Structure 1
Amino acid sequence: MSKNHGLAHRLYTGEISYDFIKNAKRWYIVSAVIVAICVLGVAVRGLNLSIDFTGGSEFVVPTQVTATTADDYRETVQGMGLPDLGEIKTNTVGDSQVRIQVRALTAEEINHVTEALAAKAGVPSQQVTNNLIGASWGQQITQKGLIALVVFLVLVSLMIWVYFRNWKMSAAAIIALLHDLVLTVGVYALLQFAFTPATLIGMLTILGYSLYDTVVVFDKVRENTRDITKQKRTFAAASNLAINQVLMRSINTTIIGVLPVAALLMAGVFVLGTGPLKDLGLALFVGMIAGAYSSLFLAAPIYVQMREREPELVAHRRRIERSSTTAAPEDATSTTGEHEASAPLLAAAHTVVDPATFGSVDGSTLPRHQPQRSTRADRKKDGR
């Protein structure tokens, strides 16, 4: 009957399962290698910070916006041959302006770029405005972003601790969130995507998504392990069942969330080429996948291993192990007794019977009654 049920039902009932707790060390090693690669990428290649963080020059050109306006003006600036321009960000403002952002330029370079953009738009150079974005503004963004991150982590810790009344869940959740942050930042360093304020917003967003997935897993673990000392299974076994029960939900939720994000990322990379969709899309895409992974393979196993060291649960686990070891010899003894009891029956079944003592009635064998004949001496002896 179970074959007719789907995978989700079989996982929920425990008919099939993956042992997340037993294989936790394997996934710890995988995560450690990934984190090491990301940290190395940040240390060696560094982040490609946008001019919002490093400072730069910004030009606004009045022009009629079309589908190719941003690409046309980007090519115009690239064709000027200015050294070390790096990434040129262009985006349209409404339907009558285009904004171009490059590194900090000298006064002479600003004049050349202004004249080239004015010629491209067919307007006087006085109508092309330019602004200098200082690095101090980027420092303020970075500082406020770090403050927001710290406040978020503190509030998350308190919320989980109050909701689940267990500080170990808070610790496991924070470790998973930090893993997601390092992984996302490392991908930006390895791919050299521009790290912009939109990226910072995306990273804060994925932390909320990762936290939601972790809370779902923890809630099921709490449900399965309630009054665990009264159950006939260990804390690890009950927790592993809980993870498998929410596995399909996590996978489906991640796929549904990642698909539109992937569309935004593809549009930003291949259609627009630059802009907030590209910066935000990569952070959301990487972070959502990392969040689902860390909730199942890091947060839950870390929490379970921390709880398994508690004296009460250690005693409960040993009690179950003793009961399982004592039950095995008893089963073997009872099985042996059954074989011994059935031995006479088996021997009787294999006893060779004289066919002469049996007759046949309608094809079946029945014992034939043979009355004994009494002799004359026997009758005298009996007084008959």
Structure 2
Amino acid sequence: MSKKKGIIRLVVLLAVIAFVVYTAVSGLGSDRSGSLNDISLGLDLRGGVSITYEAVGDVNSQDMSDTKAKLEKRVQDYSTEAQVYFEGSDRITVDIPGATDANAVLQELGKPGTLIFCTDSSDPEGTKVMDGNQIKDAQAGARSNATTNAREYVVNLTLTSDGVEAFSKATEELAPTKGRIYIMYNGEVLSAPTVNEHIASDTCSITGMGDLEAAQTLASNIRIGALPVQLQEMRSQVVGAKLGQDAVRTSLMAGVIGLILVFAFMIIYYRIPGLAASIALVMYTAFVIVLLSAFNEEITLTLPGIAGIILGIGMAVDANCIIFARIREEIGAGKSVRTAIDAGFAKAFSAIIDGNVTTLIAAGVLYFIGSGTVKGFAQTLALGIVVSMFTALVITKNILKSFYAVGLQDEKLYGKTVYTKTFNFIGKRKLFYSASGIVIAIGIVAMVVSGVNGHIFNYSLDFIGGASTSVTFNENYSVEKLESDVQPVVSEVTGDNDIQMTPVTGSNEVIIKTRTLTVDERDALYSKLSETFGVDESTIQTENISAAVSGEMKRSAILSVIIAAIFMLIYVWIRFKEFSFGASSVLPLLHDVFVLLAFYAVLRWTVGNTFIACMLTLVGYSINATIVVFDRIRENLHTNKNLAEVVNVSVTQTLSRSINTSLTTLIMVVVLYILGVTSIKEFALPLIVGVVCGCYSSVCIAGCLWYDLKNALDKRKAKKTSK
């Protein structure tokens, strides 16, 4: 590339990056589309709508549980970060982030009632075909008519096994006479489609919708009517953010400061390549913001989502560290800077692709199997990974080549690496295994002891539920004022700092969530609030609430991690052509999870809504770090068959990358911890431990496990061959 072309390319790249940054900061058009302000934020960051439904008539706990489970699935279409929990024994509250109009949400979500399918609208119970419990799902859609090729709007139904049997029998009888099936909701006919054929499958379509809106309305009413319990709206309100503007502002400030420190580190350590990477990271950050804005109807950003973005930044830095380490090695081997740049990107490609693909596999499994915050985390993680690969392999590469073309060609500006000493990791592996075993054992003991006395972990309200107290103050309190003035008063009565306070928009009402209170504690809290703030005790109301993190969400999170680990094992097994690589990539991952659990158990860190996100972040971070080491082992096996030497050399060669990636990720998280409010600190501190643990396992555990497993499998194979 000539100097002139280099200048032109550099100017074009910087102009594109500047445009993306401008869009991320200011947005485009009057609605500021594409900007940070256009991102859909969760309840913790922006607030939303809270709707409380009450069961009609006498209901049992099983029906209420089934109703809650169905509502949880339904509100996921509105937002992956929506929460559903019990309030008392016959009420269910739905919190939907990002919404500002409670009436609009009610209209879209629907008003729960009784849904039945019958053959005579004047005698619905006497001619009932099936009820809402036999409907799995209902979705609006559009398709081309098979006869006229015109566009038509439909509602696609998915039936349960019982529903298939009942519907098959009814349609078999009605099809010859073109009879109708009436869909009735609370006694009113929603639709009366004609049965054109016998339907024996678990899916069918209702045609004849006038437009997409009509199809969506019918689908919504069918979904909300497919509940075991008839519900009626008790109250709906718009609630403010849980964290407040200061928390959001300090988080953004922490992000900016963290990025600046990362830029400084990269430039000081890697010189010209570090400058190229810093410019690419600016592009990464701005591009992620623009994409989050573009997908604001699909992605709601909360603290777990921020975890996914932080991990994405770590992956973006990691890709650059792998590339730059390779470039330095090539220069150290005597190659020219130009040749070293090309060779560095080429040799780093497989490690970057494998590391990111394994993490993408995890993100995909988490999205399709997980629910709630797990799904939100998976979305931002996948988005960050794709963007990080693009910025590292395309933007950084082109900037670096442009720098070289304009005259920055001295090898001193790039650095070089010559390995003169190899650390004996294999010789120290028993020490590493013992240290990890002791930490995990301490954690298990702490869990057992805590379990005997109560809960094995320090579960927050999100996990075990508690009490929700509605208080109307004599003035409007901001979130910051609530934390400084009200929270200490509540904490004095409850003896617990796990308190969530949410202001109701447009009023002086505040919803205070605490652990479950005894009757005496309720009375004491009411008196204290009245004495301190002049609150009218007669207006205070308290109800017990269930966990916001549902049992299904916990189960799906655990199942997601297990299935993701299996898929990652299979992928690594196929890519590296040995089972030992696959198994040894998953074992360090499990090691990191158990170590972090030990910290949660021993230090009694709060296990709250962000706990799942912390664990998932660790999984993604750990597997990526391990893949980098294995990629180098695979490469070195071509020239050296001494397994111990290969592991020691490979880990030594990737050591700078492991340390530097961990340092840059730690910089981001530590700044977030220092500047963040309490809830953000609870989220950042475990991540700090997770990053350190991930670095330790990839350097000290992964290669050693592969060595032992490889030897064991080879010996077993040799025995079979000798027989």
TM-score band w.r.t. shorter chain: 0.5 to 0.7
Give the alignment partner of residue 598 of structure 2, picking from 162, 165, 186: 186
**Partner Cα distance (1:142, 1:256) in 2:** 31
1:296 is matched with 699
TM alignment of 1:256-335, pairs within 5 A:
256-268=664-676, 272=677, 274-275=678-679, 277-309=680-712, 311=714
Give the alignment partner of residue 57 of structure 1, picking from 467, 477, 481: 467
1:220 is matched with 632
1:27 is matched with 432
**Partner Cα distance (1:97, 1:210) in 2:** 44
**Partner Cα distance (2:602, 2:672) in 1:** 20
Q: How big is the shift at 1:169? A: 1.4
2:654 is matched with 246
2:487 is matched with 74
In the superposition, relative to structure 1, how do residues 304 and 281 fare at CA in structure 2: closer, same or farther (>3 Å)? Answer: same
**Partner Cα distance (2:478, 2:533) in 1:** 10
**Partner Cα distance (2:714, 2:562) in 1:** 33
**Partner Cα distance (2:689, 2:642) in 1:** 35
**Partner Cα distance (2:672, 2:457) in 1:** 22
Q: Deviations over 1:304-336 (max 9, x none)?
A: 222234659x99xxxxxxxxxxxxxxxxxxxxx
1:358 is matched with none
User: Is contact 2:439–2:598 with CA below 8 Å preserved after alignment?
Assistant: no
The letter for the 2-side match of 1:235 is L
Q: How big is the shift at 1:282? A: 2.2
User: Is contact 1:250–1:292 with CA below 8 Å preserved after alignment?
Assistant: yes
Q: Give SS of 2:480's match.
A: coil
2:447 is aligned with 1:42: yes
The letter for the 2-side match of 1:18 is F
The letter for the 1-side match of 2:626 is T
1:328 is matched with none
Q: How big is the shift at 1:249? A: 0.6
Q: Give SS of 1:22's match.
A: helix
Q: How big is the shift at 1:69? A: 2.4
More RCO (CA 8 Å, sep 6+): 1
User: Is contact 2:502–2:510 with CA below 8 Å preserved after alignment?
Assistant: yes
Q: Deviations over 1:232-275 (max 9, x none)?
A: x513212321111110011000011012212223345xxx3x32
Aligned residues: 298
**Partner Cα distance (1:98, 1:204) in 2:** 33
Q: How big is the shift at 1:116? A: 4.2
Q: Give SS of 2:667's match.
A: helix
User: Is contact 1:214–1:299 with CA below 8 Å preserved after alignment?
Assistant: yes
TM alignment of 1:341-380, pairs within 5 A:
none
**Partner Cα distance (1:60, 1:159) in 2:** 51
Q: Deviations over 1:328-362 (max 9, x none)?
A: xxxxxxxxxxxxxxxxxxxxxxxxxxxxxxxxxxx
Q: How big is the shift at 1:214? A: 0.6
**Partner Cα distance (1:150, 1:109) in 2:** 42
In the superposition, relative to structure 1, how do residues 260 and 136 fare at CA in structure 2: closer, same or farther (>3 Å)? Answer: closer
User: Is contact 2:466–2:544 with CA below 8 Å preserved after alignment?
Assistant: yes
Q: How big is the shift at 1:26? A: 1.7
2:510 is aligned with 1:102: no
**Partner Cα distance (2:606, 2:480) in 1:** 23
2:572 is aligned with 1:165: no
In the superposition, relative to structure 1, how do residues 302 and 210 fare at CA in structure 2: closer, same or farther (>3 Å)? Answer: same
2:230 is matched with none
2:247 is matched with none
**Partner Cα distance (1:61, 1:166) in 2:** 62
User: Is contact 1:65–1:98 with CA below 8 Å preserved after alignment?
Assistant: no
Q: Deviations over 1:149-181 (max 9, x none)?
A: 222222222222232222211211221111111
**Partner Cα distance (1:29, 1:125) in 2:** 58
Bigger shift: residues 25-34 or 128-137 = 128-137
Give the alignment partner of residue 144 of structure 1, picking from 549, 556, 573: 556
Q: How big is the shift at 1:60? A: 5.0
Q: How big is the shift at 1:294? A: 0.6
Bigger shift: residues 114-123 or 38-47 = 114-123
Structure showing the higher strand proportion among its residues = 2
**Partner Cα distance (1:49, 1:16) in 2:** 47
User: Is contact 1:236–1:308 with CA below 8 Å preserved after alignment?
Assistant: no
**Partner Cα distance (1:128, 1:155) in 2:** 52
The letter for the 2-side match of 1:41 is A
**Partner Cα distance (1:136, 1:66) in 2:** 21
**Partner Cα distance (2:553, 2:519) in 1:** 26
The letter for the 2-side match of 1:278 is K
Q: How big is the shift at 1:93? A: 5.2
Bigger shift: residues 39-48 or 208-217 = 39-48
**Partner Cα distance (2:533, 2:575) in 1:** 59
Q: How big is the shift at 1:110? A: 3.7
Q: Give SS of 2:426's match.
A: coil
Q: Give SS of 1:187's match.
A: helix
Q: Give SS of 1:132's match.
A: strand
Bigger shift: residues 22-31 or 8-17 = 8-17
User: Is contact 1:12–1:241 with CA below 8 Å preserved after alignment?
Assistant: no
The letter for the 1-side match of 2:486 is Y
User: Is contact 1:61–1:128 with CA below 8 Å preserved after alignment?
Assistant: yes
Bigger shift: residues 303-312 or 69-78 = 303-312
**Partner Cα distance (1:168, 1:219) in 2:** 13
In the superposition, relative to structure 1, how do residues 165 and 99 fare at CA in structure 2: closer, same or farther (>3 Å)? Answer: farther
Give % identity: 26
**Partner Cα distance (2:516, 2:669) in 1:** 32
In the superposition, relative to structure 1, how do residues 197 and 66 fare at CA in structure 2: closer, same or farther (>3 Å)? Answer: closer
TM-score by length of 1: 0.68
User: Is contact 1:55–1:138 with CA below 8 Å preserved after alignment?
Assistant: no
1:205 is matched with 617
Q: How big is the shift at 1:119? A: 6.3
RMSD, aligned α-carbons: 3.3
Q: Which runs of 5+ in 1 are unaligned?
A: 1-5, 316-384
**Partner Cα distance (2:496, 2:592) in 1:** 28
User: Is contact 2:479–2:503 with CA below 8 Å preserved after alignment?
Assistant: no
User: Is contact 1:209–1:291 with CA below 8 Å preserved after alignment?
Assistant: yes
Structure of higher CA gyration radius: 1
